[in-house]
Amino acid sequence: MEFGPHFLLATLEGALTAAVLALTAVGLSVVFGIMRVVNVAHGEFFMLGAVIAWFVSTTVGIHPAVGFLLALVVAPVMVGFLAIVADQLVLRRLDYDPERTIVATIGLLYCIQQVTLMTFGPDARPVIPPFNQRIALPWFELGEQGFQVTWPWGFGVTTYKLAVIMFAVIILVGLWRFLARSKFGLIMRATQLDREMALAFGIPIERVYAIVFGLGAGLAALGAVLIVPIRQAHYLMGGEPLLLSFIVVIIGGLGSIPGTIMAAILIGLSDGIISVFFSPTLAKIIATLLVAFVLVYRPQGLFGRRLP
């Protein structure tokens, strides 16, 4: 493929990664930023979202779109609820100690994975997208005969991929407004700034934490439902979103939601675009080192302020 269309295609693919990553990472970011908890099981909540989506959409056998739409609501709610239970049973009892929560969430990760393996099985399972048309894309060239429209081989996108990007944007904008305008958003920010002070003002910290943990997990699940018609549900699928979200949250600056979203776009796009220029594994190495070096020279992240 010519450089131009190739670049654009990689950018489109990058945008898709970025959209889903933004949702998942914002989920991790609120948990990280507000509760100071490194939730290693975040990727498993993502995975559960995908698995539940598969279950709902195959059980409700009316029309793929109906099942999918239902999953879009059911999966995040169920996963969020499960996360709240985990918070109440485990994290709260650890007093949200940073080190111990890491270990405890590793334990949760094992439990969730194994239960999924035993119930859902080890196979990758597809979910039918509600709609999916391939749109071949044109390319414009200034050739000998002047301005020309060509249809490069393989240059296209599907309607569903575009819809995922748009839907993610809508959700993120909505979430942003919710956190900026609502009383709960205010409470969350107050808790994030100063836990002791929030307690002194009578904010029920533990309830806030439970909701935040549920919200974070729900967002991961939502991201998974959106991606599962493109990439199938599998019990080990949680590793990559965890790693990427983790990176995005740090690069974006701890607890900064706009920063997280910017970083998701940056990481998603660069992951796609670097692959245009280098051989795939080398591209991965370069992208990984890039993240490392950004943090070495800007430990507070690209969009964050230096921590005191």
Partner 1 sequence: MRQNSNVVALHAGILASLLILFFITSAYHNGNLARIMVLAVFAMGYNFLFGYTGLLSLGHALFFSAGMYGLGISMHHLELSVLPAFAVALLFTAMVSAAIGFLALRTTGVAFMIVTLMFAQAGYLTILLFGKYTRGDEGFVIQQAERTLFGLDLTDPSIRYFAAFALFAASYLFIAWAVRTSFGRCLVAIRENEARARMLGYDTARHKFLALLASGVLSGVSGAGYALLFGYAGATFASVQYSILPLLWVLLGGSGTTLGPLIGTAFAFYLVDISSEFTSAYLLVVGAAIVFLTLFFPQGLAGEIRRRIAPWLP
Partner 2 sequence: MKKDSTKLLSGVSRRLALKSIGALGGAAAFSSIPGFTGMVHGQTDEPFRLGFQVHRTGIGAAYGRWYERTTNAAVARINSQGGIDGRPIEIIAEDDGTDPKRGAEVVEKFATQHNCDAAFGTLFSHVVIGSAPRAGELKLPYLVVSEGHHVASGILNRYTLQPCITDVKSQVQAMAPYVHDNLGKKVTMIYPDFAFGHDHRDYFSEAFARRGGTILEQIAIPPAETAFTRYFPKIPRDTEVLYHVMVGPAVLTFVKELGEFFGGSGPALFGFIDSLEAVDINSPGLEFLDGSYFWEGMPRYQQQGMLAYDAEYRDAVGVDANGASVSDARDVSTYAHMFGCWETLHFIRDIVSRAQGSSNMKQAMIEAAESVTDITESIEHPQGNKLFNGKTHQVFGHQYITRVNGGRLDAVHTTSIEDTFYPDEVDYTQQEF
Binding residues for partner 2, rule: CB under 8 A, are 1, 5-6, 9-10, 13-14, 16-17, 64, 113-114, 117, 121-124, 126, 128-129, 132, 134, 136, 153-156, 158, 230-232, 234-237, 239-240, 272, 275-276, 279-281, 283-284
Nearest to 208 by CA among 87, 102, 41: 87
- Which lies closer to partner 1 via its Cβ, residue 65 or residue 292? 292
CB 250 within 8 A of CB 300: no
In the chain, the amino acid numbered 293 is F
- Which lies closer to partner 2 via its Cβ, residue 64 or residue 255? 64
Strand partners, 135: 157
- Which lies closer to partner 1 via its Cβ, residue 68 or residue 235? 235
CB of 228 to partner 1, least distance (A): 23
Q: Does 109 bind partner 1 (CB under 8 A)?
A: yes
CB of 27 to partner 1, least distance (A): 17
CB 52 within 8 A of CB 79: yes
Q: Does 291 bind partner 1 (CB under 8 A)?
A: yes
Greatest CA span in the chain, whole angstroms? 74
CB of 269 to partner 1, least distance (A): 18
Judged by beta carbon distances under 5 to 8 A according to partner kind, the member of partner 1, partner 2, none in contact with residue 301 is partner 1
Q: Does 180 bind partner 1 (CB under 8 A)?
A: no
Q: Does 189 bind partner 1 (CB under 8 A)?
A: no
- C-alpha distances (whole Å) from 265 to each of 14, 82, 302 are 8, 29, 13
CB of 252 to partner 2, least distance (A): 21
CB 119 within 8 A of CB 254: no
Nearest to 268 by CA among 24, 18, 22: 18
CB of 160 to partner 1, least distance (A): 30
CB under 8 A, 24+ apart: contacts of 178-182: 179/257
- Which lies closer to partner 2 via its Cβ, residue 7 or residue 184? 7
SS3 67: helix
Select the residue interacting with partner 1 from 230, 284, 302, 303 (CB under 8 A). Answer: 284
The footprint of partner 1 on residues 240-259 (CB under 8 A) is 243, 246-247, 250, 254
Report how far residue 152's alpha carbon sits from residue 90's, in angstroms, rounded to the nearest whole number.
54
SS3 49: helix
